[in-house]
Amino acid sequence: MVIGKSLSQAWGGVGKTQVVLELAYRIRQKDEGCSVFWIPCTSPAVIEQTFLEIGQTIGLEDLDPAQVKEQLKTHFSSDRAGRWLLIFDNADDPDIWLSPNEVGLRLRDYLPQNEQGRVLFTTRNRKLGVDLSERNIFPVPDVDKETALSMLQELAMQIPFLEQLAFLPLAIAQASAYIAKNGLDLSEYLELLQEQESEMVELLSEDFTDQGRYKEIQNSVATTWLISFKRIQHENQLAADTLFFMACCNPRNIPTSLLPLPTSKKRRRDTLGVLDAYSFTNRQDKDINLHRLVHLATRSFLRKNGLFFDCVLRAADHINNIFPNHDHTNRKQWREYLPPMLCCFLSEKDFMDKRNNYISSMDRAANCLQSDGRWYEAEMLYMDVLKMEEERSGPEHPDTLSSMANLAKKLLEPGSMG
């Protein structure tokens, strides 16, 4: 049987992911024959994409996007899979794990069963952690002074300063980066923290609240974010604009090629380097991740300053211009671009009234979803396109009739939707 364990905590940023990363590295050091796979659980689309990438990595024959979950379960449940560890990071949403799909199965039902394998979840949802791991839960301490101190050992920072940051690794990392980058001492940075108090309170708008997160934890992240962000704006406005773009997408696995960056390699490197230097982003291969709280703080800042709507439109325009068609030669690219595209186009309330201007790109996305065997998502998006055509042109317009015919054709294709 599979042995599932959950690492839980009530808020993000406390270090669950860092702990599991360390565990993964140590396992690989001690057992090179153990395969470790990391699955971000920020959305169903990201999970599906990661499953496909895992299937390609392990060389599954006849890999089928529509059946990849079942194929991976079969593979990892067999002896030929060898020793393995599956890490599901940020498994916070019970709807993703416990809601039945079109054939009545839950994502939980696709977990493999094998004595040679282990499954590990990180989650802020203790109840879901119990459901997934059958009570094998290891809580991360709320306040870990030893971990916080070790992160700042080289800078010889003192306990009062760490207490002001609530011993939160994310806030400490950002403060450390700012101090190192700008050659400050502790007293100078503490003055900045105090100066930003009033602005920090304004920054904690409704969008930045999170049930279960302590108020002082919110304050620490918001304060350090605001200080670093103002410096970034002063140093490199393009880096700030890039951060704004990423705030309009899902915060994990954003392809670098999707970002509206200059063609100059040096300017691209400098722009992304600034965000990395201040601990706003971290890069894995060609993808970029924002910490969830950085994502929330950036969106909160944009809303507070009346910039969010324009940023969403600029992001949508950029994605619209570069999103590929569903030709099989573009498969790798569209799989990378679909999660941020769908997040921007389908999740933002600010964008809904403008979606009629992006019908063609939404239709391209629906074609890509269908080509990947994601029938239900494709059907929903085709229906949205048809509805928008009717609203824009009327039910008898040729464009509307063409969309209706296209949807009917897709529904009638063998093995597809309906």
Tell me the per-residue pLDDT of 174-191, one tens digit each, with 9 for 90 and over: 677 777 667 777 777 777
Do β-strands 281-284 and 287-290 pair in parallel, antiparallel, or remain unpaired? antiparallel
In this predicted structure, what is the pLDDT of residue 413? 59
Q: Which residue has the tokens 């620490």?
A: 220
How confident is the model at residue 356, as a pLDDT? 76
pLDDT recorded at residue 3: 42
> Which long-range contacts (C-beta less than 8 Å, at least 24 apart) are formed by 125-128?
125/8, 125/91, 125/92, 125/93, 125/94, 126/8, 126/10, 127/94, 128/91, 128/92, 128/93, 128/94, 128/97, 128/98
Mean pLDDT, 10 residues at a time, the chain of 418 residues: 45 59 80 89 89 92 90 93 90 86 85 88 77 68 51 47 59 71 72 59 43 47 78 90 92 91 89 85 83 80 88 91 88 90 79 77 86 83 79 67 64 51
Residue-level pLDDT at 228: 83
Segments in 60-184 forming alpha helices (H)? 68-76, 94-98, 126-133, 145-151, 159-164, 169-182
The rounded distance, in Å, linking the Cα atoms of 402 and 416 is 19
Domain boundaries in the chain?
A: 3-139, 145-303, 307-412
Q: Which CATH architecture has domain 3-139?
A: 3-Layer(aba) Sandwich (3.40)
Handedness of CA 390, 45, 241, 302 (dihedral sign): positive
* Per-residue pLDDT tens digits for 53-104: 999 999 988 889 889 999 999 999 998 899 999 999 888 888 889 888 877 7
* pTM, 2 dp: 0.53
Using CA atoms, how far apart are residues 11 and 182, in angstroms rounded to an integer? 30
Count Cβ neighbours within 10 Å for each residue of 25-48 and write b for 16 or more, e otherwise. Answer: eebeeeeeebbbbbbbbbbbbbbb
Query: How is residue 233 written in tokens?
Result: 């704006």
Type and span of the H or E element at 84: strand 84-89
Query: In DSSP terms, which residues pair with 360 in a beta bridge?
Result: none
φ/ψ of residue 218, rounded to 5: -60, -45
Distance CA 323, CA 337 (A): 7
H helices within 138-264, ranges in order?
A: 145-151, 159-164, 169-182, 186-195, 197-203, 215-235, 237-247
